[in-house]
Structure 1
Amino acid sequence: MVRTILAGAFAAALVAAPVQAQDNVRDIVGGIAREYLQQEQDRAAFSQAQNTNTLSAYQSYLRQFPNGMYAAQARDRVERLGGATSRPETPSAADTASLTAQQRLEIQRRLNALGYETNGVDGSFGPGTRRAIALWQRDRNYSQTGALNAAQANEILRGTTSGSRTDSADSARGPAQVEAALNLSRQQRSAVQAGLTRRGFDTRGVDGVFGQGTRNAIAAWQRANDESVTGYLTGAQAERLIAR
């Protein structure tokens, strides 16, 4: 029902908006849809933990959603069932105290370029940025605190797609090996597909799976941009496609 309402609102907004405003409308509606999906995933995971009602089930929920809507209830159940639980670090201004305003803006830009939507680039680390940081941490097997330590901030500020190599190193590898070394997450692959679609190269779906439709779209985009036509991405190409 909610999905139907969102779809209707999206269609109505596009019809009403002038052409130059339609991208903004898509971003707004897309943000609402993502927020709803995350809430539904959180709710479903906690419901499953409740149905199982075991220590390991609640601990599994907390690993997935350390700052979720039901995290406090899950920790209470873990403690009642005799397990130990640690409270995640509360995101605060502490992790940005040593960062300049320009560095905070750059971190948000780079997170967006890597496919982690911050819901704005304003130098303020609000809920959208905290969620993006937590997802970035998850994909690198860091503790999902939503707060950056100095090493993590520097890693993001270096500004390379995870696992990317320099051009000189890439030249010694085949195109498929270069792309495989990027170690793109499914979310990043979906962002690449969305970027191709926005540019008019149909991937035949945005699902995070690089099938033949996506390979053809990558090749067509490379050809249109005077790149070597391989159907596989380099780190620089992935960043260009993910960036809005």
Structure 2
Amino acid sequence: MVRTMLSAAFVAATLTVPVQAQDLGNIIGGVARQYLSQEQDRAAFAQAQERNTIRGYQSYLQQFPSGLYARQARDGIERLGGSSASRADPYAGTGDTSGLSRDQRITVQRRLNALGYGTNGTDGNFGAGTRRAIALWQRDRSYTQTGSLTTAQANEILRGTAPRSNSSQATATGLGPADAEADLGLGRSQKAAIQAGLTRRGYDTRGIDGAFGQGTRNAIASWQRANGMQATGYLTAAQADSLMR
């Protein structure tokens, strides 16, 4: 299918005159990125369907609020007895009780990014990306996953609490780092997206093939070490999510 899409892009590009080599590369690259995004979307929704729980569908919507299967995910939540808002951002309208200033909000975003929870910007505005990052941070600390900070939670982040490591996650779940990553159920397309994310950040995975070999493990460990995390070479859910975005 990828070959078909790339071929179609090539034909369309060559029919327009003139087309520079760089322009053609941009067209093909754009098609490839679109296909990868769609595959990640499909894989995430398939995982939600397999779990068939309210939390599973909510997790899909947090990753893809306007995804290909957003409507089906909301229908699944309502079918299971949950409440699904029609808005694109599941956390829109949630109020913070933390009373943070703009500078403090920027600091919170920077700390979340340093911990491996991507906020999609550090501008002091808590948009959809920051809400998702907060929710993932809350989930990994067994807080209620609201996407909105309490005063105590905001202070915990502002104090620069050390990131939750894979070993502490293993203590909570009874799993070692390798087993905890395996429990995430990452598909081949998701693993390829993670490898692409590492490569973009300057960590060589020795290929983007959707298989986590020694090159990928070394790249993960280097990325973890550079970001103040325990360098296990295995990913937590928050770390995988950060690298895929």
TM-score, normalised to structure 2, is 0.49
TM-score, normalised to structure 1, is 0.49
